[in-house]
């Protein structure tokens, strides 16, 4: 046999064991795609509530004047309790004529109702109860929109995303075992962001001037992080 052909044959035989030891790579498309979620409980650090007054008088001027006096008293009370100018904003002012229609006759205006609402935002949820009570004691006759939020959901981002990825990997492992396979590397990861589902916050208002503080509980808020991951199948 030609010496050059013998050399080629020997090189080929020597290469066979090395090739046999090379791990099989997944064929194109042999992947599993899953989604994962991670939940993090955070303590709210911001509170928002709205207080206001409704006044009625025979004339617009009288109703507005009474409303202005009472709203000024509420704002002063809130500031005495620590609320600053940046925490307080007027959120709604309205004037509605009050009508009556006696005996099927044409309606006539008998007075005017003025509504004036103030929204307060505080970075100290623990102070909300005292602020609400101060507003009620100062003359507020409407309270609404009491809520608590997390100003920086990124506080729980690292933990939430890690939990979401672990959840995705666990799902992928279950599916791979069901198919008689195992999972390999994560080939693609897409982060879905943090989602804060609406959480009802307990609120119980005692409209009594003798109360020291309106009882308010902020509770905790759940922030959900999600990821979509593509794993290779082995």
Distance CA 14, CA 27 (A): 26
Q: What is the pLDDT of residue 168?
A: 95
Q: Return the pLDDT at 23.
A: 44
The phi-psi region of residue 193 (left if phi > 0; otherwise alpha if psi is between -120 and 50; otherwise beta) is left
- Widest CA span of the chain, in angstroms? 126
- Is the separation of the CB atoms in 144 and 94 below 8 Å? no
User: Which has the closest alpha carbon to 124: 206, 212, 43, 209?
Assistant: 43
Residue of higher predicted confidence among 4 and 58:
58
Residue 7 has pLDDT above 50, yes or no: no
Given a cut of 70, is residue 6 above it in pLDDT?
Answer: no
What is the dotted CATH code of the domain comprising 25-43+151-234?
A: 3.30.110.170
Distance (Å, whole) CA 198 – CA 91: 22
Q: Chain-centre distance of CA 129, in angstroms?
A: 22
Q: Which residue has the tokens 């995705």?
A: 168
Q: Which of 96-105, 177-186, 214-223 has the lowest mean pLDDT?
A: 214-223
Instruction: Reduce the DSSP state of residue 45 to 3 states and report it.
Output: coil
Look at residue 29 in the predicted model and tell me its pLDDT. 62
Which residues contact residue 36 at a Cβ distance below 8 angstroms, ignoring those fewer than 6 apart? 163, 164, 165, 166, 167, 168, 169, 170, 171, 226, 227, 228, 229
* Cα 118 from Cα 140, distance rounded (Å): 10
pLDDT exceeds 60 at position 139: yes
Domain 46-101+108-149 coded CATH 3.30.70.2970: yes
> DSSP class of residue 189?
E
78's CB contacts (< 8 A; 6+ apart) are 87, 88, 118, 120, 131, 134, 135, 138
Domain layout of the chain by residue ranges: 25-43+151-234, 46-101+108-149
User: How are beta strands 88-100 and 108-122 bridged, if at all?
Assistant: antiparallel
């Amino acid at each position: 046999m030609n010496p050059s052909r013998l050399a080629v044959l020997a090189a080929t035989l020597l290469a066979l064991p090395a090739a046999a030891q090379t791990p099989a790579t997944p064929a194109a498309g042999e992947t599993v795609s899953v989604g994962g979620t991670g939940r993090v409980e955070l303590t709210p650090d911001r509170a928002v509530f709205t207080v206001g007054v409704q006044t009625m008088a025979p004339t617009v001027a009288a109703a507005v004047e009474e409303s202005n006096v009472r709203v000024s008293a509420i704002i002063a009370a809130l500031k005495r309790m620590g609320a600053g100018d940046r925490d307080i904003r007027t959120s709604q002012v309205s004037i509605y004529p009050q009508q009556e229609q006696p005996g099927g006759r044409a309606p006539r205006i008998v007075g005017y109702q003025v509504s004036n609402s103030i929204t307060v935002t505080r970075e100290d949820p623990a102070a909300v109860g005292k602020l609400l009570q101060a507003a009620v004691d100062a003359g507020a006759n409407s309270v609404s929109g009491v809520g608590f939020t997390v100003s920086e959901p990124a506080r729980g981002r690292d933990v939430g995303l890690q939990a979401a990825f672990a959840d995705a990997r666990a799902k992928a492992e279950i599916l791979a075992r069901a198919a008689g396979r195992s999972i390999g590397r994560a080939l693609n990861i897409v982060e879905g962001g943090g989602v804060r589902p609406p959480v009802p916050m307990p609120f119980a208002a005692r409209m009594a001037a003798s109360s020291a503080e309106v009882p308010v509980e902020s509770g905790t808020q759940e922030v959900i992080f999600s990821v979509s991951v593509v794993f290779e199948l082995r």
